C-alpha cells in the first residue's frame, strides 16, 4: 500500500470526517421521504462490523443449521468477530495479505464470515457464481488473478483439478464444509482454530490491518443476458455509502431477523441482506433450501425477506391457490378491497381472516423487498393489504447496488415505481423521446470504480462521473424512478416507434395460463407492413388444466391464450400489438441469475 503510519492516520481522519458529513447531510435533509435518521458514520466494512460488535455485541448476528435435522445454532456479534479475526489472521499468516481471494458456494455463515475476513484486512474478495460451468470459473480465476478460493464441498474436485493443472494462480484451496485438512485442501474450521491460537499468542496482523476506504476491495463479476462477464470494482466506501443511505427510506431495527434465500454472490443479497443487517444490529437466518422454506420460516419467525419477483410471485400464487381450494377467494377479495380503504384510517380488518396466511411466513413478517427485475404492482399491493409491507427497489452491481428504494410507509409507496433516489445520489435522464423516456444515469459515491482490466467497457458507461445504466425510463418531480425497459432490448418498428418488450411481458405475466414470456421483434411483416411483435411463452400447466380439463390439445391451449392476448391488444396502439404467438414446451435458456437470454435464437422457438 505504501503508506506511513502518519499518512494512514491522516487518511483515516479524512474518511471519518467524510462519513460524518454524510450522516449530517441526511440529518439536515428536508426530503420528506428520508424518515429514519438513526444511522452512524462508517468508513469501511471492517470498521462497520467492529462498531456493530461494540454496539450490539450480545445480539444474535447469525442463525444457521450446520447439520440437517438439528435446531438453529445462534451466533452472536461477539462470537462472529472472534471467528472473523481468527480467519483473517490465518490468511495473512499463509502469505495472502493483499491478494485476491474467491468464495463460492451456498449462502451461509461460512461464506459471509469469510467475506468479512477478506475485506477486513486479508485481501481483495472475489465472489463467484456457484451456477457457472467450470470453464467459466477457470477464466474468472485467471482474470482476477485469484490466489486462494473458499468453496462448498461439491466444488472440491473442480478446484483440485484446476490447481493441479497449473493454468491458474491458485495457491490455496479451502473447503468451507470439511472438519479438517485433507489431501492438501485446507478447512475453514481448521483455519479458524489456527487463527485463534495466533491471536492468543499476540498476532495482531489482521486486527490492526490498515484499510483505505477508496482502494479496490471487491471484484464482482456481472453479466447480463448478452455479453461476457465484467468485473465490477467496488471499494469499501462504495459499500458503506449504500449502507448509510438506504435505511433512511426503509427502516431496519436491531430486533429484525432477515430470512436469507438469495445467492450472496449477487450484490443485492450481499449488501442488503448481509451487510445491512450487520450495520443495523439485526440478525441473518439462513434457509436450508427451497424445499425447507415453510419449515424454516416457522422455526425462525423472521421479520424481513429480500426476494426476486419470481420468488415473491410464487408465494403469491400459492397463497391464492390455498384460498381457492377452501372456496374463499371471493370473500378474501371483497375483504381486501374494503381493508385497502380502512387501513388508510389506521384500521386493519383483515387480521382474523389473514392470520393463517401470515402464519406461513412465520407470523412476524413485516417487510418484503423485491429487486432484480420488475414485479406486478398488484402483487405488492396484495401483501400490503394483508399486513406485510411490500416494496420494490432498484439496484445495479455498479451502484453497490442500491440506487432507489420505495418508502415503507404505505401512503408514500408508489408500486409502479422502482423507488425514490437514495440520499447522496444524483439522477438524470438523457436522450429523451417524445414521451420523455430516455436512459437513466446516476452519479454518487456508491458508483463503482470501473470494470477490472476493461477500460473500454468502463469508458462506455462511466462518462464525466455519470453511470449510464442502459435502463430506459423517467423520473418524476419527487425523484421517484420509473423503468420502462432496457435500451438494448427496444424493438424499433418500421415507422420508428419504440416498443419496450418488458412492458408487454408485464401484461402477459398477468395471464394465469402463462408461466414465462419473451417478447421480440419478428422479421415477418404484419398487415400494416410493420415489423410484427412476437411472443414466445411457456404455459402454467395447472391453470390450463383447470380451465380446459384433462386431454386438451395444443390447439386448445393456443386458442385459450390468444383469447387473453386479444384483450391486451385491444388496449394497445396498433404498433404495439402482439401478432405472433409461439408456445414453448421447454424451459427458456437463462443466465445464472435466472433471466431469459433475449438474443439466443433458440429462445424464440417452440
Q: Which residue has the higher pLDDT, 118 or 310?
A: 118
Query: Is 258:285 a contact under the CB 8 Å cutoff?
Result: yes
Q: Does the pLDDT value for residue 291 go beyond 90? A: no
Give the phi and the psi of residue 360 in degrees, each rounded to 5: -60, -30
Query: Is 475:481 a contact under the CB 8 Å cutoff?
Result: yes
What pTM did the predictor assign?
Answer: 0.90
Number of H helices, E strands in the chain: 19, 27
The span from the CA of 399 to the CA of 388, in Å, is 28
**Residue closest to 283 by CA, chosen among 62, 79, 77, 73:** 62
pLDDT confidence of residue 525: 53
Query: Is 216:239 a contact under the CB 8 Å cutoff?
Result: no
Residues 459-499 have pLDDT tens digits of 999 999 999 999 999 999 999 999 998 888 888 877 677 88
Residues 138-196 have pLDDT tens digits of 999 999 999 999 999 999 999 999 999 999 999 999 999 998 999 999 999 999 999 99
Confidence band of 599 (pLDDT split at 50, 70, 90): confident
Residues 539-576 have pLDDT tens digits of 999 899 989 998 899 999 999 999 999 999 999 888 88
Residue with C-alpha cell 433516489? 421
- % pLDDT > 90, the chain: 75
pLDDT confidence of residue 6: 82
- Per-residue pLDDT averaged across 114-141, rounded? 95
Q: Does the pLDDT value for residue 300 go beyond 60? A: yes
Cell of 166: 497449473
| Least confident span in 125-134, 152-161, 222-231, 363-372 | 222-231
**Burial class (CB within 10 angstroms; exposed 0-12, middle 13-18, buried 19+) of 98:** middle
pLDDT confidence of residue 524: 65
The span from the CA of 225 to the CA of 228, in Å, is 9
Residue with C-alpha cell 456457484? 130
Residues 87-109 have pLDDT tens digits of 999 999 999 999 999 999 999 99
Q: Does the pLDDT value for residue 407 go beyond 90? A: yes
**Burial class (CB within 10 angstroms; exposed 0-12, middle 13-18, buried 19+) of 93:** middle
Q: Does the pLDDT value for residue 225 go beyond 70? A: no
Residues 31-55 have pLDDT tens digits of 999 999 999 999 999 999 999 999 9
Residues 333-351 have pLDDT tens digits of 888 888 877 877 777 777 7
Query: Is 117:125 a contact under the CB 8 Å cutoff?
Result: no
Average pLDDT along the chain: 93
Cell of 579: 401478432
Residue with C-alpha cell 470453464? 135
The span from the CA of 185 to the CA of 606, in Å, is 46
Residues in a beta bridge with 304: 258, 367
- Per-residue pLDDT averaged across 275-301, rounded? 95
pLDDT confidence of residue 5: 77
Helix, strand, or coil here: 548?
A: helix
Residues 238-269 have pLDDT tens digits of 999 999 999 999 999 999 999 999 999 999 99
Amino acid at each position: 500500500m505504501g503508506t506511513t503510519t502518519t499518512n494512514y492516520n491522516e487518511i483515516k481522519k479524512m474518511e471519518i470526517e467524510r462519513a460524518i458529513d454524510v450522516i449530517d447531510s441526511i440529518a439536515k435533509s428536508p426530503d420528506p421521504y428520508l424518515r429514519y435518521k438513526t444511522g452512524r458514520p462508517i468508513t469501511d466494512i471492517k470498521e462497520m462490523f467492529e462498531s456493530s460488535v461494540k454496539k450490539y455485541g450480545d445480539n444474535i448476528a447469525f442463525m444457521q443449521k450446520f447439520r440437517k435435522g438439528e435446531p438453529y445454532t445462534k451466533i452472536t456479534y461477539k462470537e462472529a468477530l472472534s471467528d472473523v479475526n481468527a480467519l483473517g489472521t490465518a490468511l495473512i499468516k499463509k502469505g495472502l495479505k493483499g491478494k485476491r481471494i474467491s468464495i463460492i458456494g451456498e449462502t451461509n455463515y461460512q461464506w459471509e464470515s469469510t467475506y468479512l475476513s477478506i475485506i477486513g484486512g486479508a485481501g481483495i474478495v472475489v465472489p463467484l457464481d456457484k451456477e457457472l460451468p467450470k470453464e467459466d470459473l477457470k477464466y474468472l480465476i485467471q482474470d482476477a488473478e485469484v490466489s486462494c478460493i473458499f468453496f462448498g464441498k461439491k466444488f472440491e474436485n473442480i478446484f483440485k483439478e484446476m490447481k493441479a493443472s497449473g493454468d491458474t494462480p491458485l495457491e490455496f484451496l479451502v473447503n468451507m464444509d470439511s472438519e479438517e485438512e485433507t489431501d492438501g485442501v485446507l478447512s475453514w474450521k481448521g483455519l479458524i482454530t489456527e487463527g485463534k491460537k495466533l491471536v492468543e499468542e499476540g498476532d495482531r496482523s489482521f486486527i490492526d490491518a490498515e484499510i483505505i476506504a477508496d482502494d479496490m476491495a471487491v471484484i464482482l463479476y456481472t453479466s447480463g443476458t448478452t455479453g461476457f462477464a465484467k468485473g465490477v470494482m467496488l471499494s469499501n466506501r462504495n459499500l458503506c455509502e449504500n449502507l448509510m443511505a438506504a435505511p433512511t427510506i426503509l427502516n431496519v431495527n436491531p430486533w429484525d431477523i432477515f430470512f436469507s434465500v438469495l445467492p450472496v454472490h449477487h450484490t443485492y443479497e450481499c449488501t442488503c441482506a448481509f451487510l445491512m443487517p450487520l450495520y443495523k444490529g439485526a440478525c441473518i437466518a439462513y434457509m436450508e433450501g427451497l424445499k425447507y422454506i415453510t419449515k424454516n420460516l416457522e422455526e425462525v419467525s423472521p421479520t424481513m425477506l429480500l426476494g426476486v419477483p419470481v420468488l415473491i410471485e410464487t408465494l403469491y400464487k400459492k397463497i391464492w391457490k390455498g384460498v381457492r381450494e377452501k372456496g374463499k377467494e371471493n370473500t378474501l377479495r371483497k375483504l381486501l378491497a374494503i381493508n385497502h380503504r380502512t387501513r388508510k384510517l389506521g384500521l386493519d380488518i383483515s387480521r382474523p381472516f389473514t392470520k393463517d396466511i401470515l402464519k406461513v411466513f412465520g407470523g412476524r413478517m413485516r417487510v418484503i423487498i423485491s429487486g432484480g427485475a420488475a414485479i406486478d404492482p398488484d402483487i405488492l399491493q396484495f401483501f400490503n393489504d394483508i399486513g406485510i409491507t411490500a416494496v420494490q427497489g432498484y439496484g445495479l452491481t455498479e451502484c453497490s447496488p442500491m440506487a432507489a428504494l420505495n418508502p415503507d410507509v404505505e401512503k408514500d409507496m408508489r408500486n409502479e415505481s422502482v423507488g425514490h433516489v437514495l440520499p447522496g445520489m444524483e439522477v438524470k435522464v438523457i436522450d429523451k423521446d417524445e414521451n420523455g423516456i430516455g436512459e437513466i444515469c446516476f452519479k454518487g459515491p456508491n458508483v463503482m470504480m470501473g470494470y477490472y482490466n476493461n477500460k473500454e467497457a468502463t469508458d462506455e458507461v462511466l462518462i464525466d462521473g455519470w453511470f449510464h445504466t442502459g435502463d430506459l425510463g423517467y423520473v418524476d418531480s419527487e425523484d421517484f424512478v420509473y423503468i420502462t425497459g432496457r435500451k438494448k432490448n427496444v424493438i424499433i418498428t418500421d415507422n420508428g416507434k419504440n416498443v419496450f418488450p418488458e412492458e408487454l411481458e408485464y401484461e402477459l405475466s398477468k395471464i394465469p395460463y402463462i408461466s414465462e414470456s419473451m417478447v421480440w421483434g419478428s422479421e415477418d411483416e404484419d398487415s400494416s407492413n410493420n415489423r410484427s411483435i412476437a411472443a414466445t411463452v411457456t404455459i402454467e400447466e395447472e391453470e390450463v388444466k383447470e380451465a380446459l380439463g384433462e386431454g386438451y390439445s395444443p390447439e386448445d391451449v393456443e386458442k385459450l391464450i390468444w383469447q387473453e392476448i386479444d384483450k391486451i391488444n385491444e388496449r394497445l396502439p396498433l404498433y404495439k400489438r402482439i401478432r405472433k404467438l409461439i408456445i414453448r414446451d421447454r424451459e427458456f435458456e437463462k443466465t445464472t441469475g435466472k433471466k431469459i437470454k433475449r438474443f439466443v435464437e433458440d429462445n424464440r422457438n417452440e
